[in-house]
Chain A
Amino acid sequence: MTGFAALVRLIVRRDRLALIVWVLVAGLLPSAVVAATVAGYPAEADRLAFAATALVNPAELAARGPVFAPTVGGLTAWTFTSSGTLLGGLISIVLVVRHTRADEQAGRRELIGAGVVERPAPLAAALAVVVGANLAVAAVVAAGLLTSGMAVAGSVALGLAVASGGIAFATVGAVAAQLVEGAGAARGIGIIVLGVAFALAAVGDVGGSAAIWVSPIGWARHVQAFADEQWWVLGLFVAGAAFVAAVAFALSARRDVGGGLLPARRGPSTAPPLLRSPFALAWRLHRASIAAWTAGLTMLGLLFGAAMSSLGNQLDTPAFRSFADAFGGGSVADVFFRFVLYVLAQVVAAATIASAMRMRNQEVDGLADAVLTTPVSRARWAAGHLACTAIGAVLMLAGLGLGAGIAYGTPLDVLGTTTAYVPACLVFAAIAVAATGWTPRAAGVLAWTLLAATLVIDLLGEFRLVDRAVMQLSPFVQTLQPLTIGSGLVVSLVLLVALAAALTAAGLAGLRRRDLGT
């Protein structure tokens, strides 16, 4: 395919740093989990006890699937497979869209297309790089596990399971990039598919139903690394990814460069009366993603709520009781929701960072200039965007809580639990704002790194590998603990809101004094 090799080199050159960081971090994480498991559960009895509680805990079943073997390898695979697949899937979607639809939208694809490049080469090159990076993750995972003294078959199987998940979602991203004209919308479609796949795997494993077999995340779990590996499941990935990739190539052959399959409609030739302020403009720019996230999280909530109301009594076993007591006690549903919502709140925090970064993206794209050369101050422009970010966080968490609560029958209780995470999410938005004010070029990297660091601390904290005092630094732990204990919530939330407000104020001060567009 003419032009393929040159395009692969171009993509690798543009993203070399991100690719290296991704491959190393995702690749070495399982070895860290091995070390954590050995340290946290040294004796076989400990592991058996842990596996017994995890197997009857619907929250753990939903988030990670069943434990297939109470060994160090089995627990490592159980811990890493779902989150590794989610992470790899998300990065794969974002990268494929970035090198296909985003380039097309920016007009760079035309420069390439006018050169000696065959029509399918850009899509093939983007997929090749992302598939290659996923396979590199698999290689690093396997090498790391072998170095830790794990069995060969399990090490290879775990690497391939996670990589296959990433590859499957890369092809989903490729199809999404053909469907719509906007890169943001294409990413949104890919992420919604990822969310649905996760929800199907969760419901399938909690209920023991066939739903796991229609979800790549379910497939990755049921490769059963380190527990009588089911190699044939990898065949499902090969067939599925090949089919979806073929659909993407067929769609791309059928359409014009720059066009989508869903045609762009004409719009109104005059602005609606309300579009007259920086806030109104910001709302126009944020509303589609807020609506998509809120709808997705509401559906996820409904699924979990429904799963709980049908399975709740079955799971009220002594083993689960002891887990529940360790987790603050209360009814089975309370504990389940507390744990699942804690994890999903972290997803909302990611969406909130993305929303807060939109302000910086507007600046980089030159769109801030258009507003800021009218009589609108920088503070007023920023306030419009930040109000949308805050509204978005509230709506997403409220949708999640209402969905779960309505399906389970206690809407207000669950709604209270989810909206308690609003301040924690806003702290991360505020970090992004502070960085936008003072270190604009590093703002995105800084905000995402801090969120990732918090998630790693929370994860390691679950294995008691991190000191309790360090865990207190996590805004999520600051919310979960009072919810679990049942007191001190107001103090925690006030402190988090104050922190978010201080960071935001600092960011706005920085924004006022620096050059724009640099």
Chain B
Amino acid sequence: MTTVISAEGLVKTFGSTKALDGLDLHVEAGEVHGFLGPNGAGKTTTIRVLLGLIRATAGAVRLLGGDPWTDATELHRRLAYVPGDVTLWPSLTGGEVIDLLGRLRGGTDPARRVELLDRFELDPSRRCRTYSKGNRQKVALVAAFASDAELLVLDEPTSGLDPLMEAEFAAAVAEERDRGRTVLLSSHILSEVEALCQRVSIIRAGRTVRSATLDELRRTRTTLVTAELTGPPNTLDRVPGVHDIEYDGTTLRCRVEAEHLNDLLLALTAAGVRSLVSRPPSLEELFMAHYRDDTVGVSR
């Protein structure tokens, strides 16, 4: 597989603020890569560096085999971008913007344009100033999907769309993936990420805190165990891979890594178990743990 995006130790400072602080990002050709992180983590800054709109203060970055700053114009032939906050020229109609952006990128397939307009239920004859946020986003999405770019960079593309349109969007991205295009998808909507992405990179405060496939994440997540005990669990501290131990009378709550579940159960039965509930945490809890300033509950 060829690498489409590779960023190592990316740093970007604005005056005294450090927006990116040694960020790493690797995206392989043909994958849909989820790019996650809380607000202000540096997702949009990273994307603007990748697009050559701003220059990284330090670090190495390659995009489609070129330098995103010096080769910006050439590289832009091969990518399409949908910003998170779409602004459009108020006096142009949506259809005019789609055609203009398509022509600047070297042409649009008219049949594909009609199909996408229909699919996203967008009226192309309205002036952009009369569009809602969701409709402006649809204009940018139609323009991007109608291009034959090999890389799609989508920055929170569904933040203004209704659930029906979100589903249309997910279907469209899945089609692009099947056609072999690469997608960098920054998103807050975990169900969307779970449905579409093979790999994710989670960033916080300008750094990458985790980069893995969703399968890896699922395998490594910890199980939440709640047990009511008959006696004191004296040996529990010595069991490896157990975190977050809490007692409430005779009730014990803790998290345990998958490969140490058996050790924990042995320790519990030694102490005597009255009842036992064990539940794997949702993907959401996993992301929340990464988003918050702690890494407890996440094994590495």
Contact = CB atoms under 8 A, between A and B. Distances in A.
- B53, B77, B123: most-surrounded residue (chain A CB, <10 A): B53
Interface stretch (A385-393, A397-405, A411-419, A510-518): A510-518
B100 A275 contact: yes
B104 A268 contact: no
A182 B54 contact: no
A267 B96 CA distance: 9
A371 B104 contact: yes
A366 B83 contact: yes
A269 B100 contact: no
Contacts of B99: 270-271, 275
Contacts of A376: 73, 76, 104
Interface in B140-154: 140
A374 B96 contact: no
A365 interface: yes
A74 to B, nearest CB: 48
Given A375-B106, A516-B53, A271 B48 contact: no
- B77, B85, B100: most-surrounded residue (chain A CB, <10 A): B100
Interface in A246-274: 264-272
Contacts of B140: 370
Contacts of B54: 515-518
A182 B104 contact: no
Interface in B60-108: 72-74, 76-77, 79-81, 83, 85, 87-101, 103-106
B53 A105 contact: no
B129 interface: yes
Contacts of B94: 269
B90 A374 contact: no
A367 interface: yes
B124 A375 contact: no
B126 interface: yes
A313 to B, nearest CB: 48
Contact of B53 (A181, A272, A275, A372): A372
A267 B94 CA distance: 9
Given A369-B83, A517-B53, A267 B89 contact: no
Given A269-B125, A373-B51, A518 B100 contact: no
B26 interface: no
Interface string A271-290: 11001111011001100100
B31 to A, nearest CB: 21
Given A367-B88, A373-B79, A517-B53, A276 B126 contact: no
Contacts of B126: 266-267
A377 interface: yes
Given A278-B104, A367-B87, A370-B88, A268 B125 contact: yes
A268 B95 contact: yes
A276 B107 CA distance: 10
B73 A270 contact: no
A181 B129 contact: yes
A275 B96 contact: yes
Contacts of B83: 366, 369-370
A269 to B, nearest CB: 4
A449 B140 CA distance: 38
Contacts of B53: 369, 372-373, 515-517
Interface string A158-185: 0000000000000000000000011000
Nearest to A377: B73
Nearest to A185: B91
A373 B52 CA distance: 8
B55 interface: yes
Contacts of B79: 373
Given A373-B51, A373-B81, A182 B95 contact: no
A186 to B, nearest CB: 13
Contact of A182 (B87, B93, B105, B129): B129
A367 B91 CA distance: 13
B73 A375 contact: yes
Interface in A486-518: 515-518
A280 B100 CA distance: 9
Contacts of B73: 375-377
A2 B203 CA distance: 45
B127 interface: yes
Contacts of A377: 72-73
Contacts of A276: 100, 103-104
Contacts of B124: 269-270
A284 B89 contact: yes
Nearest to B48: A517
A369 to B, nearest CB: 6
B235 interface: no
A516 B83 CA distance: 14
Interface of B: 14, 48, 51, 53-55, 72-74, 76-77, 79-81, 83, 85, 87-101, 103-106, 123-127, 129-130, 140
19 contacts: A264-B127, A265-B127, A267-B127, A269-B95, A269-B125, A271-B96, A275-B96, A275-B99, A277-B104, A284-B89, A285-B91, A366-B83, A370-B88, A372-B53, A372-B76, A373-B53, A373-B80, A374-B101, A375-B105
Top 10 nearest A-B pairs (CB, nearest first) are: A271-B99, A515-B54, A267-B93, A374-B104, A269-B95, A269-B124, A271-B96, A276-B103, A269-B125, A373-B81
Given A276-B103, A285-B91, 15 more contacts: A182-B90, A265-B127, A266-B93, A268-B93, A269-B124, A271-B103, A284-B91, A366-B83, A369-B53, A373-B51, A373-B81, A374-B76, A374-B105, A376-B73, A377-B72
